[in-house]
Amino acid sequence: MPRVKGHVAHQCSSCGTCAPRWTGRCANCGEWNTLVAREVPIGAEVSLTSLRDAGRDEAPARSTGVAELDRVLGAGLVDGSTTLLFGEPGVGKSTLALMVLHARASAGEAVVLVAAEESPAQVARRARRLGEVPPGLDVVPATDVAALEQVLYRYRPAVMVVDSISALSDPSIAAGAGSVPQVRHAAERLCRAARSVGTALVLVGHVTKDGDLAGPRTLEHLVDTVVRIEGDRHGTLRTLRCLKHRFGPTDEVGLMEMGPAGLVDLVDPAAQFAGSALDVPGVVVGVALDGSRATRVEFQALVTACAGPPRRVAHQVSSQRLSLLLAVLDARCGVATASLDVFAATAGGLAANEPGVDAALALAVASAAQGFAVDRDLAVVGEVGLAGELRAVAGVSRRVREAQRLGARRVIVPVAGSPEAGQDVELVACASLADVLAVARNSTKLAKTC
Ligand code: TYD
Ligand code: MG
């Protein structure tokens, strides 16, 4: 853009307001003949960059060595960037971060683990579970921010993991370790240092079950990337999700399993979520969409006589949606469960809370309540409205493809937004939940008669 030498503004000598052009009367205070031309000095030199050229020299993302984490990050970690990895205690943050260091050190890079909470011996024990510890993976037991800044400037590691950010402190700040001012200050300083030396920095942070916002989450705007690791403490399934990413999209979901030798990529979750092989009422195949990832999920329901007040137990499905679906089943489809116990769950521990699985869940309950088994090669996709209508859902084609890939021969889809039929799969477009029930019952009869 061409530069201009100076800029002239017209300022009112009465009230101080500036106007771009001279006028006889000040638009602000109404005084006459008070506007005086004044040169606005050009301050510190700033240079402009054409957007066409900006970022062409940006560092590329480099693989973390963990395929599911790479999937969530788009490609991997960008040199000089900062990633916040957070989750509840015990979910596997230290394990995942260590796996990245293991992989990068095995590829011949110098990497550092800042053990701010555990002793090097404890960390080494975890590292050995993951396999032989490669040379080039160093550990520094430190909590002082200035010392860690020195590590970055002096050694310029390819990756540095800080486990965890809450344990760092700077003695010149009065607030205690783990407090918001300390955590923010530490993150700010280390981010800046990592950017200037080109180290990919990973900050590990804990949150409590009710999402303790005072801690690491206050760093979200400060860092380039935020990854959350989620999972049920009693199960082995772990979900990786990107909540913020300056270098790519955030809608990929990673699935991993915690095993005796660390986290293992769950590249094809089909086996994990295969569910029951029993041909019993109450089992229906649906497809959940999480970000851009479609996953086949088996819904299971059990409807039984109750001894006391009726119970509704929802495991890995939304209890609110379950209540809504029970009401719709009763009012629009004649399936009454008001005086019965209803249990609903997914097989394999995957949480399926989005509306696109409504119809599958509702059909599972109806099938359990009325005692008809649903074909396992029938998959059901669709949201259920209060009028009992089957509503269009996001990513319907992707869900159909996933159902088909995993053996579905027929897929029930909403009439609205129903995709083009693919090869080897029959699409059955339904307008209402009552239609879905009718199709499922008929296909059972057909299956039984042939
Ligand atoms: P950890 O990574 O320490 O969790 P976080 O840093 O999020 O608190 O590990 C979590 C749990 O995983 C821990 O209870 C032990 C278990 N674990 C395994 O089952 N296999 C393994 O290989 C490792 C290293 C840990
Ligand atoms: Mg840990």
Secondary element (H or E) of residue 314: strand 312-315
- Please tell me the distance between residue 96's alpha carbon and the centre of ligand 2 in angstroms: 9
Distance of CA 60 to the CA centre of its chain: 22
CA of 81 to the centre of ligand 2 (A): 21
Dihedral angle sign, alpha carbons of residues 178, 179, 182, 187: positive
For ligand 1, atom 14: residue with the closest CA: 90
| Rounded-to-integer distance, Cα 411 and Cα 404, Å | 8
241, 253 in Cβ contact below 8 A? Answer: yes
Distance 294 CA to ligand 1 centre (A): 27
**Residue of 258, 263, 264 with the most ligand 1 atoms within 8 Å of its CB, for mutation:** 258
Specify the pLDDT at position 144: 95
Does 255 contact ligand 1 (Cβ within 6 A)? no
95 touches ligand 1 (CB under 6 Å): yes
| Ligand 1 pocket member 215 (CB < 6 A) | no
Q: Does the CB atom of residue 125 touch ligand 1 within 6 A?
A: no
pLDDT of residue 9: 79
Q: Is the CB of 101 under 6 A from ligand 1?
A: no
Contact 239, 233 (CB under 8 A): no
Which residue's CA lies nearest to atom 9 of ligand 1?
A: 92
Beta strand pairing status for 410-414 and 378-380?
A: parallel
In this structure, the residue with its CA closest to atom 15 of ligand 1 is 90
Ligand 1 atom closest to the CA of 91, numbered from 1: 7
- Cα of 120 vs centre of ligand 2, distance in Å, is 13
Give 54-109 pLDDT, tens digit per residue.
777 777 899 999 999 999 999 899 999 999 999 988 999 999 999 999 999 999 99
Going from the Cα of 14 to the center of ligand 1, the distance in angstroms, rounded, reads 70
Task: State how far the Cα of 65 lies from the Cα of 239, in Å rounded to an integer.
Answer: 17
pLDDT in tens, 16-44: 888 888 889 988 888 899 888 877 666 66
Residue 231, ligand 1, Cβ within 6 A: no
Per-residue pLDDT of the chain (450 residues; tens, 9 = 90+): 666 666 777 888 888 888 888 889 988 888 899 888 877 666 667 788 888 887 777 778 999 999 999 999 998 999 999 999 999 889 999 999 999 999 999 999 999 999 999 999 999 999 999 999 999 999 999 999 999 999 999 999 999 999 999 999 898 888 888 888 889 999 999 999 999 999 999 999 988 665 554 566 688 889 999 999 988 777 888 989 998 999 888 888 888 999 998 999 886 666 666 666 678 899 999 999 988 788 889 999 999 998 889 999 999 999 999 999 999 999 999 999 999 999 999 987 788 999 999 999 999 999 999 999 999 889 999 999 999 999 999 999 989 988 888 788 999 999 987 777 666 789 999 999 999 999 999 875 444 333
Cα 284 vs. chain centroid, distance in angstroms? Answer: 26
Q: Could you tell me the maximum CA-CA distance found in the chain, to the nearest angstrom?
A: 98
- Helix 319-333 to helix 358-370 angle (10° resolution) is 60
- Pairing of the two strands 35-40 and 111-115: unpaired
